[in-house]
Amino acid sequence: MAFHIAGSMAFKDAMKKGNAVLLEPIMKVEVTMPEEYMGDVIGSLNAKRGQIEGMEDIGGGKLVKAFVPLAEMFGYSTELRSTTQGRGNYSMFFEKYQQAPKNVQDKVLANKNQ
């Protein structure tokens, strides 16, 4: 038991002394929509801290590929439906973990301390 407590205390001490960073999941997002909504969709993804990877023509519409933090994607289904008048679809897949920006880390830490 003492060994377990000592290990726990050593870990906490090391974390305080180290430069721990917050990682956030980044999703690969693919959005299909009629061409007339492409500008609005790209603007929406950019506003969500998304990085546009590319665009393609598909049968009768467009496909936009982007990398977006998962935390920014909550509620996107409703937003996309509203933006495209129900004519847009999206899928997302886990891509990687990436260090969260300083302002996001500060916000998470502030919420944790409340």
Residue 80 located in a structural domain? yes
Mean pLDDT of all residues in 67-75: 96
Q: Which domain holds residue 76?
A: 20-112
Q: How many CA atoms lie within 13 A of 105 on its CB side?
A: 10
Residue 3 located in a structural domain? no
Tens of pLDDT along 5-59? 877 777 667 667 777 788 999 999 999 999 999 999 999 999 999 999 999 999 8
Residue 4 located in a structural domain? no
Here the tokens at position 45 are: 């993804």
**Domain total of the chain:** 1
Residue 37 located in a structural domain? yes
pLDDT tier at 90, thresholds 50, 70, 90: very high
pTM: predicted TM-score of the whole model, two decimal places: 0.79
Residue 60, domain CATH: 3.30.70.240
Residue 5 located in a structural domain? no
Q: Helix, strand, coil: what percent of the chain each, to 5?
A: 45, 35, 20
Residue 15 located in a structural domain? no
